[in-house]
Each structure stands twice: as structure tokens, then as C-alpha cells.
């Protein structure tokens, strides 16, 4: 065995302690409490080591968005000064729209499609691979903002920005076991809800390798799309659209949870055949507006 000189050993010790600190920070932000039995799609992921992730993500992350933004209600409860008046974030939209826009902020409630019961909210506490999960507690809810033309109550091809999770865009990323990027009723291919870096992709864009949290944390290249949301402010209904590589929207598209993690895909039964141990539940997504902060 080779003996390192003392100085190298000291450097190693220092790096080791930095990595340990990175790991403890890391474990407070993500939920990976599978227990011994891992019964779902989510369990087979291979993560890169936390030190590598830290290095990797410090290059890719947008430096201005390191702290979690609190709503004014939370700030009042904590005795903190209120947020400055909100300016529209032009950087979230690659093209400047000439039409004035209204920005909405709120949570995404998840309901069981079978019995319409509420399952909670999409949570800011993600899997280490950035895959989003649901949790019942409103304090753990992801906060999203998006913009519609002034007066509009409906929009499609909308980008969602997250206030309290990395991305900062909330979009769709190709599943780990996919063959290709296209969804159809004859394919088990599926998508993750995942963070995507700015500027994201324009509406109707074909699957593209955008910077995304899954790729950042696993090192596996995956295609993604970010302007995928359809919003109906009258009913509160939210849905997603995935554009296949031929430029056409994939139909049908279903959304479901397995082991509390969120997926979209063209055929939930074929997905279930591929990951059979834990049952999936079809879901619907609903916007819960918050008082603008
Ligand atoms: C959704 O509702 C069905 C029917 O009540 C139930 O069997 C299933 O377990 C529910 N799913 C979840 C995730 O609670
Ligand atoms: C991809 O193809 C392999 C080999 O045919 C198959 O085992 C796997 O289930 C396929 N994955 C999906 C998501 O269809």
C-alpha cells in the first residue's frame, strides 16, 4: 500500500470533513426514507456521490436563487419584514411578451382520480434525484408562480417557476428506464416531475437535453421539456402536455403517484407491469392560489 505524505493526508482530511458537511446539508433537503424494502420505480436510481453533486450543482445553479422565499404570511408569523413588492421575473420567459401579464402564486394540490379525495400537495422535499413527491402537510408544499396574459383565465404551454426548490422551473424529465423520449398508449415510457434550469424550453418544443435535477444528481443524460403546463383558473385544474419528437403532443397523457412519487405517461398499466410491486393511483392536479406576496 502506498503511504501518502503528511500534507496530502491533511488535505484529504479537510476535504473529507467538507464532504461530510455537504452530506448533512443534503440529507435535510431530500426524502430518501425508503426503509429496507424498496417497492417502486424510484428505488433503483444510482446517485453520484454528494461531493461530486455539490461541485456539479454549484456550476449549474443560478447563483441569485439560493434562499427559500417565504410568503408574507409566513414572514408575519416569524416576525420578519415583508417581501418587497413583486416584480415580474422576465428571466423565466425567454421571449419578452408584448401582452401585459399577471403573475399567480400558489400550491399544487394532488387528488386521487378514483375517489376525488385530496392526497396533499406536491412537496418541496424531493427525492435526491429531484423527483417530486406528495405530502399531506401544507407547510411542506412546493410554491409555484406562473404568468398568464392579463384577464386570461386559461393558458397552455405555460412555464412554472418554483419559489422553494431548485430548478427553478418545474417541468417533465424522461424516465430512467425509458426507451427513447416519446410517450404513447402502447409504451411503458414515463416522465418525472423535476427541476429544470433556465431558460428552459419554449412551448411545443420536442424532447431536448436541458439541464435538469435528475441528470445533475445521477449523471444520466435525460431529455426534458419545461413549458408543459395547462392552467384553468376557473376550475383550478392543472394538466401537463409532453411533445413527442415528431412535434405532436403525446396523447393520451395520464398522471399518477407510486410510493407517493409523481409520474406522467401514456400507459399506466404498462408502467405498472414494469414496476409491479407497489400499486399506482391515477391523480389530478389542482392550483391552490395564495395571496400574492
Ligand atoms: C385512491 O382511491 C382508491 C379508491 O378509493 C384507493 O383504492 C387508492 O388506494 C387511493 N390511492 C391513494 C394513493 O390513496
Ligand atoms: C425498454 O426495452 C427493454 C428491452 O426490450 C425492456 O425490457 C424495457 O421494459 C423497455 N422499457 C420501457 C419503459 O418500455
Q: Is the pLDDT of residue 84 over 90?
A: no
Instruction: Please compute the mean of the pLDDT values over residues 204-223 and round it to a whole number.
Output: 96
pTM: 0.76
Residue closest by Cα to atom 5 of ligand 2: 179
Supply φ then ψ for residue 193, to 5 degrees. -85, 125
Nearest ligand (C-alpha, residue 273) = 2
If you measure from the C-alpha of residue 96 to the centroid of ligand 2, how many angstroms do you get, rounded to a whole number?
A: 41
- The rounded distance, in Å, linking the Cα atoms of 201 and 90 is 15
pLDDT at 51: 52
Looking at the CA of residue 175, tell me the nearest atom of ligand 2. 13
pLDDT at 38: 59
Q: Kindly state if the Cβ of 281 falls inside 6 Å of ligand 1.
A: yes
Quickly state the pLDDT bin for 81 (edges 50, 70, 90).
Answer: low
Q: Kindly state if the Cβ of 57 falls inside 6 Å of ligand 1.
A: no
Top-confidence residue, 241 or 96: 241
pLDDT at 245: 98
Query: Which residues form the pocket of ligand 2, taking CB atoms under 6 Å from any ligand atom?
Result: 177-179, 187-189, 274
pLDDT at 272: 95
Instruction: Please compute the mean of the pLDDT values over residues 174-179 and round it to a whole number.
Output: 96
How many other CB atoms are found less than 10 A from the CB of residue 44? 10
- The rounded distance, in Å, linking the Cα atoms of 69 and 92 is 16
Q: Kindly state if the Cβ of 43 falls inside 6 Å of ligand 1.
A: no
Q: What is the mean pLDDT of the chain?
A: 80
If you measure from the C-alpha of residue 281 to the centroid of ligand 1, how many angstroms do you get, rounded to a whole number?
A: 6
Q: Is residue 120 left, alpha or beta, with left meaning phi > 0 and alpha meaning psi from -120 to 50?
A: left
Amino acid at each position: 500500500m502506498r503511504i501518502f505524505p503528511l500534507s496530502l493526508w491533511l488535505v484529504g482530511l479537510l476535504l473529507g470533513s467538507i464532504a461530510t458537511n455537504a452530506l448533512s446539508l443534503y440529507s435535510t433537503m431530500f426524502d430518501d426514507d425508503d426503509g429496507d424494502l424498496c417497492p417502486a420505480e424510484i428505488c433503483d436510481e444510482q446517485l453520484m456521490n454528494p461531493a461530486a453533486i455539490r461541485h456539479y450543482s454549484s456550476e449549474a445553479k443560478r447563483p441569485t436563487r439560493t434562499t427559500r422565499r417565504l410568503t408574507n404570511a409566513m414572514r408575519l408569523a416569524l416576525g420578519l419584514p415583508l417581501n418587497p413588492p413583486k416584480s415580474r421575473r422576465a428571466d423565466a420567459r425567454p421571449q419578452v411578451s408584448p401582452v401585459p401579464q399577471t403573475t399567480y402564486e400558489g400550491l399544487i394540490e394532488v387528488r386521487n382520480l378514483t375517489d376525488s379525495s385530496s392526497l396533499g400537495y406536491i412537496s418541496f422535499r424531493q427525492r435526491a434525484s429531484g423527483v417530486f413527491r406528495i405530502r399531506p402537510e401544507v407547510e411542506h408544499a412546493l410554491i409555484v408562480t406562473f404568468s398568464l396574459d392579463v384577464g386570461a383565465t386559461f393558458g397552455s404551454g405555460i412555464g412554472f417557476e418554483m419559489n422553494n426548490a431548485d430548478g427553478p422551473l418545474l417541468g417533465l424529465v424522461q424516465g430512467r428506464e425509458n426507451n427513447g423520449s416519446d410517450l404513447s398508449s402502447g409504451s411503458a415510457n414515463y416522465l418525472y416531475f423535476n427541476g429544470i434550469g433556465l431558460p428552459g424550453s419554449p412551448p411545443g418544443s420536442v424532447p431536448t437535453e436541458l439541464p435538469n435535477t435528475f441528470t445533475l444528481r445521477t449523471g444520466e443524460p435525460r431529455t426534458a421539456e419545461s413549458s408543459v403546463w395547462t392552467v384553468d383558473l376557473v376550475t383550478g385544474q392543472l394538466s401537463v402536455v409532453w411533445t413527442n419528437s415528431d412535434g405532436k403532443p403525446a396523447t393520451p397523457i395520464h398522471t399518477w403517484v407510486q410510493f407517493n412519487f409523481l409520474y406522467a405517461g401514456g400507459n399506466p398499466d404498462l408502467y405498472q407491469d414494469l414496476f409491479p410491486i407497489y400499486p399506482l393511483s391515477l391523480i389530478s392536479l389542482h392550483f391552490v392560489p395564495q395571496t400574492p406576496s
